[in-house]
Amino acid sequence: MTSRDMLVGGGATLRLEDALRRVLDGWSALPAEEVGPDEALGQVLAAPVVASTSLPPWDNSAMDGYAVRSADVAHASPGTPVRLRVLGEVAAGHVPPRAVTPGSALRIMTGAMVPEGSDSIVPVEDTDAPPGVAELPGVVGIRAPAPPGANVRSAGEDVRSGALVLAAGRLVGPAAIALAAAAGAARVSVHRRPRVGILATGDELMPAGTPLPPARIHDSNTPALLAQARASGAVATSFGIAPDEPASLRERLATAVAESDVVVLSGGVSVGAHDHVRDAFSSLGTVDFWRVAIQPGKPLAFGRTLAGRAGDRTDPDRPVALFGLPGNPVSAFVTFELFVRPLLRLLLGEQPREGVPGARRRVRGTLTEAVSKAPGRRAFLRVRVETDPSRPDGLVVRPAGAQGSHVLSALAAADGLAIVPEELPGLPAGGEVDVLMLEGEGA
Ligand code: AMP
Ligand code: MG
């Protein structure tokens, strides 16, 4: 990129879609790694998972009861119970002690192997044996028939050994983890998690949890951005708080770049006398743009560099994304949502939905009150989405509080971001509005 390109690219105020396209351009999913199924939560499979065992692996009982021969009990009824000799018991995790022969039964527990000779299970409720008693009866009265296969979970009925159970590209959630583990996978191949470095800037900031001297505030962006990065599937690390001083900011930024795939700064990105983030980006790499027509979050810098520029000798050509988010906590939160999360999901290998990896579910509802916004910018309003008492499948959208970009209480009260288009001055009460749902973020 020439310095003229940088000027042009860096100077314009971009529409959201154009800015997002520039952020996402040129990246691909990170290399694959092998991890235990439970570690893969939120990652995307780089290779399919193939069952190394059938599910169930062998015929087993779906009930606590008696393993019988179906022919023996075909005419059983409460009035004319069929009496069978009880030859022993088979519990889950134990091999049956013997086969079932005509006129006999084995007591069996849920999940235990169906013994040789037996083709059906009579639930204990359909016998005269009291349930939950440890002592084995010598004879059991069967009060109902159990046709062939009754209450038997047969080998391979869920999954056959060798079958593809999870396709490459699949997002791994708890259910996929259960299936992979049951089907015998010790490791699964997933795109590795991006490493995200978080760096706060501002002389006013004190680490969260420490006493506040005059004129200082707690750094809430670092804990919030760490949480957002982790909720997006990344491994996130804080690189502390940089003062509003160019040299130390550059130094901390370089440290973060050397150890990260994506570096997320907050604060110092606007046109204040002490805003040095864009200069720090330029000294280490590029600034692709720094203004987006959104509210909150208009000053938002994005740039790129290579790890080698920050002194990484082991992998100098590794590309690193640089985000300079606005300092106001709500702006930082919303711009992470809109720009950083999609890039993280792209790096994790997630396929785009509506053109955006990791796109949030959208719902449409009716505003409970009028809202206004800045002209020319797309607004993202903190709202609560509720079911409409007057329409069974309708939703109402209620502003969650004051919309200033410093108002964290309204962010914490919100479960969605309502989108008001650039060209509108606002929306009236009763107006229809799209909402991005902030699911899984503790909303
Ligand atoms: P700036 O973008 O640096 O001009 O900051 C805008 C506003 O956000 C100021 O009120 C800052 O004090 C506040 N701010 C900046 N960084 C943080 C942070 N890490 N945590 C909480 N507030 C912040
Ligand atoms: Mg600042």
- Measured from the CB, is residue 219 less than 6 Å from ligand 1? yes
For residue 202, the CA-to-ligand 2 centroid distance in Å is 4
Ligand 1 binding pocket mutation candidate from 201, 203, 205 (most atoms within 8 A of CB): 205
Ligand closest to CA 266: 1
Which helix (H) or strand (E) segment holds residue 264: the answer is strand 262-266
Look at residue 166 in the predicted model and tell me its pLDDT: 98
For residue 276, the CA-to-ligand 2 centroid distance in Å is 9
Q: In whole angstroms, what is the distance from residue 105 CA to residue 150 CA?
A: 15
What is the helix, strand, coil percentage profile of the chain, to 5? 20, 30, 45
- Measured from the CB, is residue 329 less than 6 Å from ligand 1? yes
Question: Structural domains in the chain?
Answer: 3-31+192-357 (3.40.980.10), 33-55+157-191 (3.90.105.10), 60-153 (2.170.190.11), 362-437 (2.40.340.10)
Q: In whole angstroms, what is the distance from residue 194 CA to residue 348 CA?
A: 7
CA dist 175 → 41, 179, 438 (Å): 10, 6, 21
CB-based neighbours (< 5 A) of ligand 2, an ion: 202, 267-268, 327
Q: What is the 3-state secondary structure (H, E, C) of 47-102?
A: CCEECCCCECCCCEECCCEEEECHHHHCCCCCCCCEEEEEEEEECCCCCCCCCCCC
Ligand closest to CA 212: 1
Q: Which residues pair with 164 in a beta bridge?
A: 50
Look at residue 268 in the predicted model and tell me its pLDDT: 96
- Measured from the CB, is residue 267 less than 6 Å from ligand 1? yes
Ligand 1 binding pocket mutation candidate from 221, 290, 291 (most atoms within 8 A of CB): 221
- Using alpha carbons only, what angle is made at residue 357 by residues 356 and 361, rounded to the nearest 5 degrees? 75
- Measured from the CB, is residue 127 less than 6 Å from ligand 1? no
Judge contact between 350 and 44, C-beta under 8 A.
yes
| Interacting residues of 143 by C-beta distance below 8 A, sequence separation 6+ | 76, 77, 78, 81, 126, 127, 128
- Measured from the CB, is residue 404 less than 6 Å from ligand 1? no
Q: In whole angstroms, what is the distance from residue 309 CA to residue 10 CA?
A: 20
Atom of ligand 1 nearest to the CA of 219: 20
**Residue 48 corresponds to which tokens in the numbers above?**
């399919």
Look at residue 440 in the predicted model and tell me its pLDDT: 65
**Residue 428 corresponds to which tokens in the numbers above?**
């009236």
For residue 284, the CA-to-ligand 2 centroid distance in Å is 20
Closest by CA position to 379, among listed 429, 409, 423, 437: 423
- Measured from the CB, is residue 266 less than 6 Å from ligand 1? yes
Atom of ligand 1 nearest to the CA of 204: 12
**Residue 344 corresponds to which tokens in the numbers above?**
């993280």
Helices (H), 86-203: 174-182
Q: In whole angstroms, what is the distance from residue 34 CA to residue 49 CA?
A: 12
What residue owns the CA closest to ligand 1's atom 15?
A: 327
pTM of the entire predicted model: 0.92
Closest by CA position to 371, among listed 328, 426, 307: 426
Look at residue 391 in the predicted model and tell me its pLDDT: 84
What residue owns the CA closest to ligand 1's atom 14?
A: 327
Low-confidence stretches of the chain (pLDDT beneath 50):
1-10, 441-443
Q: In whole angstroms, what is the distance from residue 312 CA to residue 306 CA?
A: 9
Look at residue 155 in the predicted model and tell me its pLDDT: 97
First to last CA, the chain: 40
Pairing of strands 356-357, 352-353: antiparallel
Look at residue 132 in the predicted model and tell me its pLDDT: 85
- Measured from the CB, is residue 335 less than 6 Å from ligand 1? no
- Using alpha carbons only, what angle is made at residue 315 by residues 309 and 318, rounded to the nearest 5 degrees? 65
Pairing of strands 294-295, 289-292: unpaired
Look at residue 443 in the predicted model and tell me its pLDDT: 37
Judge contact between 191 and 179, C-beta under 8 A.
no
- Measured from the CB, is residue 326 less than 6 Å from ligand 1? yes
Ligand 1 binding pocket mutation candidate from 219, 266, 270, 408 (most atoms within 8 A of CB): 266
Q: In whole angstroms, what is the distance from residue 301 CA to residue 351 CA?
A: 25
